[in-house]
Structure 1
Amino acid sequence: MIVEDQALLAMELELVLGEAGCDVVGCAMDKAGAFEIAERERPDLALIDVNLLDGMTGPQIAQRIVGEYGTAVIFLTANPEQIPEGFAGALGAVSKPFDELTIRAAIGFAREFIRNRTVGAPPRRFRLAPWLTTPPNDIAPH
């Protein structure tokens, strides 16, 4: 599923995903459209822009579809500072502008997570969500 309010970018993403062997189940430009597609299709993966036609609703969409459907989410954003702490359940983020190789690598990373629930090395230009990183060793008190 693609949630992106720039029509040309959404079409480009749909083409890249199709060439990567993904079945794009729908494209939405806002929260209502995203929830409608998610309810109907229950996608395995969603690429979601943080800032949409109806405001900064990408994190709300991510949190709901991760929680309700177990969808793996990758944020797309030109403003990484707008990603909420904890990433609202998303696996990570790709900064705009991006290229086809970056999207393909992010999809590969997500596929591995979906299949095995394991986290491999994050691809280049992919900001890994903090909840997926290994927590630091606890430091024993002196």
Structure 2
Amino acid sequence: MACRVLIVEDEFLVATEIEYVVSELGHRPVGIAADQATAISLAPMAEVALVDLNLRDGPTGKDIGRMLAAEHGITVLYMTANPAQLGDGVPGTVGVISKPVADHEMKQAVSYAVARRHTLEAEPPERLKLFA
């Protein structure tokens, strides 16, 4: 079941690696957003978003994820080297996986987010911290 995926990441090499993995799984990347304005402009095209916290415009990822979930109905999964910045989590979002993320973990995380999007049963990756 293919899904449209938004990548919110300001490090170009990391973003293109995520884009490659998303495509390899049969999903369609709708774009790479390095800041809040770009993420919001791409939101109408996305079903799932993979969101880093610290972006080109500062630590805006937490708020971006909250907006994407609440205002656009997007299934949000955070991918960050700073998971502690999320505290106990962000209501309406799936969870967080700590970077660096190995390819097989990224594939599992994307597949889990897509399954959640389609309300299918799925096993979360071992390092994925789920939010309530």
TM-score normalised to the size of structure 2?
0.89
Larger relative contact order (CA 8 Å, sep ≥ 6): 2
Greater share of residues in helix: 1
Structure 1 portions without partners, runs of 5+: 132-142
Aligned partner of 1:74 in structure 2 is 77
Give distance in 1, aligned partners of 2:37 and 2:121. 31
Give distance in 1, aligned partners of 2:17 and 2:64. 21
How many residues are paired up? 127
- Taking every aligned residue pair, what percent have the same amino acid on both sides? 38
Aligned partner of 1:125 in structure 2 is 127
Secondary structure of the corresponding residue to residue 123 of structure 2: coil
Please give the root-mean-square deviation of Cα atoms over the aligned residues, in Å.
1.4
Give the drift of 1:88: 4.2
Q: Per-residue CA shift, 1:66-114, capped at 9, x if unaligned?
A: 1122100110111111114332422011111111111111112112211
Give distance in 2, aligned partners of 1:123 and 1:94. 9
Runs (4+) off by over 6 Å: none
Greater share of residues in strand: 2
Give distance in 2, aligned partners of 1:57 and 1:66. 14
Structure 2 portions without partners, runs of 5+: 1-5
